[in-house]
Structure 1
């Protein structure tokens, strides 16, 4: 897997491998299509991706859009709607995928791999 966080971990192969295994497990649990949609939505919020075509038509994608800058304002009702849409186990995977997508975007914006290289 690629990405600025994994690249920044290049100096620690064991840690990078564990990170990639963790990320891959969350993505696999969520599913390829929804993972890609969540990553695109989060990147777009950060100004790093193209606008998604069409409106956000699911509670999960609307929720993902709020994670980078509005996560403390997400209500229990909004979380419950995503759990109802995805199920509890996929909601956990969704939360991990969205958080890691946010971290990747932030790492890209500050050029983390070059900072880690010193």
Structure 2
């Protein structure tokens, strides 16, 4: 059994019944070994309940997930530091530029 399913993005995917996908795993693996990259969506309802992807795709998604998590943690650390900082601890942009010997007006020269 095969059904079409419309994603919220407007894209349409094919959903194959679980039994058929289970029986076809060897063929799916052959396709991935041959360079195919299309995910295989499956489920016993007329909507996707699972997806089969190549290991390379999974590794790429895992790396992106880890990078996004690192960025989220970094942003949270910055928010926490800003929230706990005192105004007397801060330095104005102009003062910081002068500290580094730079022109805060951006005239290309040193201060």
| Fold-level similarity (TM above 0.5) | no
Compare the two structures and name the one with the higher strand fraction. 2
TM normalised by structure 2 equals 0.29
Compare the two structures and name the one with the higher helix fraction. 1
Higher Rg of the two aligned structures: 2
- More RCO (CA 8 Å, sep 6+): 1
